[in-house]
Structure 1
Amino acid sequence: MAFTRRTFMRTALATGIAGALPLRGFAAQTMTLGGATLETVSDGNLVLPMNFVTDHEGALEKMASLGVTGDQVTPPCNVTLYRDGTNTVLFDVGAGPDFMPTAGKLLDTLDAMGVSPDEITHVVFTHGHPDHLWGVLDDFDDPLFANATHMMGKDEFDYWINPETVNTIDEGRQSFAAGALRRLQAMEDQIETFGADQEILPGIKSHASYGHTPGHMAFELRQGNDAVMIVGDAIGNHHLAFAAPDWVSGSDQNPDLGIETRMALLAYLADQQMPMVGFHLPEGGIGRVERADGVFRFVPEV
């Protein structure tokens, strides 16, 4: 298994779109699994209040000890592109133009890489939050990845496609529910659903990682002895999620289940020494979990 780092700033400057992206430009991480290639692709970044990470007592002091200060965080958004010679798979599709001005850069990044939306054979969703789902339609509300099979866990799909979700979700996420419903209704006949512990494509297995959302899925990609886990938002940041995994995360819809999932996933990845891809983790999101002083730390592969 090999890791490399690439930047696409030269292409970005040539096409005149570099200014549309954050300072990280088109930086990507690349790893190989057997004969397959996995790359993380920037969709930009989010800008979130600190309490979205956690409002746990002592959080600001803990964050400061980890080098994170201020009243905002700006997590990157790392979409995963996986190519095995037969399938070209996107895990999540970014935010599109309607969520935050700092996100929704996926098409620019793919273009700079020379990848057309028409080349994508499968889109696989970890969950239905805006920064993962809202980029699925084009400006005419048609599927942006027109040739792709779209796939989502059944529990997750059923939750967001239900018109009553907007009435039962907390007020701060009602726009999430309305936006997911509109997009999934437009895609309903083109989405395949699946369960947990299922090989959804050759070498790609789903793992239930509920808590962040009711049906959140992680995915284990395996080629021979090489494997990597795409964790989506089950491990949502590189600081408190590792240093205090038993603290409530403000981004989890079911905080207690989110803690249970996060701690189990961190322990599994550390014990197996399996590389991971985190949607909101730094340096392209690819790295490993190490145990440190009774908790964990994220070690990027750079």
Structure 2
Amino acid sequence: MTLTRRTLMSRLGAGLALSAAAPLRVWSAVETQLGTARITSLSDGYLTLPASFMFGPMPQADLPPLLERYGLQGDILKPDCNVTLLQVEGRNVLFDAGSGSAFQDSVGQLVDALDAVGLAPDDITDVIFTHAHPDHLWGVLDDFDDPLFANARHMIGRAERDYWLDPATVDAIGADRAAFAVGAARRLEALEDLETFEDGDELLPGVAAVATHGHTPGHMSFEVRSGSEALIVVGDAIGNHHLAFARPDWPSGADQDLAAGAATRVALMDRLASEQMAMIGYHLPDGGMGRVERGEDGYRFVPLGG
């Protein structure tokens, strides 16, 4: 497997290309060649989140030394958002669709990222969702509520689809995430030909679904394999490069099911470290591509070039 990195420039925000004084955001496109397949991590921008959103349910007495170790000071986290592009046998496959323009101002850069690698939304042949949170799903519709990737098949795990389309979800999910449920249902309903799959299904040649439930009830990861080489697109099953690695068994407030999310994270860390399989994490730094290594205390994320 050959890994390379390219750094590209993308203007932050719609319409800023008209202004010479507009701020620029630098983002990394990290590529790997896996047999005949090219895999590229593209930036959709970054989220702005209160630190308590993630750290709230963790053991508070044990938290400060780890926050200091990783330089996690202050009340705000700004995790990257990495959308994976798979190009193989004439197909341009996206894993997730980014946030679009309706979630946060710091995200919604995927169309610019595609343009930087020579692709337009109409060139995408398949969109496969890890789950239906806003930063993964909401970019699937354009500003007129039409499917942005007009020529693509759209696929999502059956359990994930059923959860977000259940009318009871908006009341059961909690007030702080009710907008997630409303937004997900509207977008999934707009995808009239939405296909579903189950754990273990081969979605495309060499691409298999891997159940990693907990972050959401039907969260899926995807193993991309060519011969003896493989890479796993983990979505939000591993949600950051610091405490998720150091203490994968700790509950994360980003997960909807705290216990299931932690159990999934522990199992996934063990597999990735044991098999030394490459991975892409949606919210990991530097394009999110790297490997998992065991340390004396937990695990650590080794990014490209690390």
User: Normalization by structure 2: what TM-score?
Assistant: 0.94
Deviation at 1:192, TM superposition (A): 0.3
Partners of 2:234 and 2:273 lie apart in 1 by: 14
Q: Do the aligned partners of residues 177 and 238 (structure 1) sit closer, same or farther apart at CA in structure 2, a change above 3 Å counting? A: same
**Alignment counterpart, residue 165 of structure 1, candidates 160, 163, 169:** 169
> Secondary structure of the residue that 1:7 maps to in structure 2?
strand
Deviation at 1:87, TM superposition (A): 1.6
Q: Is the CA contact 2:11–2:23 (under 8 Å) kept in the aligned structure 1?
A: no
Residues 212-246 of structure 1 show CA distances to partners (whole Å, capped at 9, x for unaligned) of 00000000000111100000000000000000111
> Secondary structure of the residue that 2:299 maps to in structure 1?
strand
Q: Is the CA contact 2:99–2:107 (under 8 Å) kept in the aligned structure 1?
A: yes
Q: Which residue of 2 aligns with 1:222?
A: 225
Q: Which residue of 2 aligns with 1:109?
A: 113
Q: Which residue of 2 aligns with 1:251?
A: 254
Q: Do the aligned partners of residues 274 and 18 (structure 1) sit closer, same or farther apart at CA in structure 2, a change above 3 Å counting? A: farther
User: What amino acid maps onto 1:36 in structure 2?
Assistant: A
Asked if 1:34 corresponds to 2:35, the answer is yes
Q: Do the aligned partners of residues 21 and 274 (structure 1) sit closer, same or farther apart at CA in structure 2, a change above 3 Å counting? A: farther
> Secondary structure of the residue that 1:29 maps to in structure 2?
strand
The 5-angstrom pairing of residues 1-302 of structure 1 reads 1-9=1-9, 23=25, 25-55=26-56, 56=58, 57=60, 58-187=62-191, 189-302=192-305
> Secondary structure of the residue that 1:269 maps to in structure 2?
helix
Gaps spanning 5+ residues in structure 2: where?
Answer: none
Q: Is the CA contact 1:8–1:113 (under 8 Å) kept in the aligned structure 2?
A: no
Partners of 2:204 and 2:298 lie apart in 1 by: 34
Deviation at 1:17, TM superposition (A): 8.2
Gaps spanning 5+ residues in structure 1: where?
Answer: none
Bigger shift: residues 63-72 or 209-218 = 63-72
Partners of 1:300 and 1:17 lie apart in 2 by: 34
Q: Is the CA contact 1:21–1:102 (under 8 Å) kept in the aligned structure 2?
A: no
Identity of aligned residues (%): 52
Deviation at 1:8, TM superposition (A): 2.0
Q: Is the CA contact 1:217–1:232 (under 8 Å) kept in the aligned structure 2?
A: yes
> Secondary structure of the residue that 2:45 maps to in structure 1?
strand
Q: Is the CA contact 1:12–1:112 (under 8 Å) kept in the aligned structure 2?
A: no
Partners of 1:159 and 1:81 lie apart in 2 by: 26
* Two-structure CA RMSD over aligned residues (Å): 1.9
Residues 90-130 of structure 1 show CA distances to partners (whole Å, capped at 9, x for unaligned) of 00000001110001111111112221111110000000000
User: What amino acid maps onto 1:267 in structure 2?
Assistant: D
Q: Do the aligned partners of residues 110 and 74 (structure 1) sit closer, same or farther apart at CA in structure 2, a change above 3 Å counting? A: same
Q: Is the CA contact 2:11–2:24 (under 8 Å) kept in the aligned structure 1?
A: no
Q: Is the CA contact 2:101–2:143 (under 8 Å) kept in the aligned structure 1?
A: no
Q: Is the CA contact 1:60–1:69 (under 8 Å) kept in the aligned structure 2?
A: no
User: What amino acid maps onto 1:220 in structure 2?
Assistant: E
Runs of 4+ in 1 over 4 A off after TM superposition: 11-22
Q: Is the CA contact 1:154–1:215 (under 8 Å) kept in the aligned structure 2?
A: yes
User: What amino acid maps onto 1:280 in structure 2?
Assistant: H
> Secondary structure of the residue that 2:261 maps to in structure 1?
helix
Q: Do the aligned partners of residues 19 and 233 (structure 1) sit closer, same or farther apart at CA in structure 2, a change above 3 Å counting? A: farther
Residues 35-68 of structure 1 show CA distances to partners (whole Å, capped at 9, x for unaligned) of 1100000000001111122222132431111222
Partners of 1:136 and 1:19 lie apart in 2 by: 30
Count of aligned pairs between the two proteins: 299
Partners of 2:23 and 2:214 lie apart in 1 by: 31
User: Normalization by structure 1: what TM-score?
Assistant: 0.95
User: What amino acid maps onto 2:42 in structure 1?
Assistant: V
> Secondary structure of the residue that 1:96 maps to in structure 2?
coil
Deviation at 1:26, TM superposition (A): 3.4
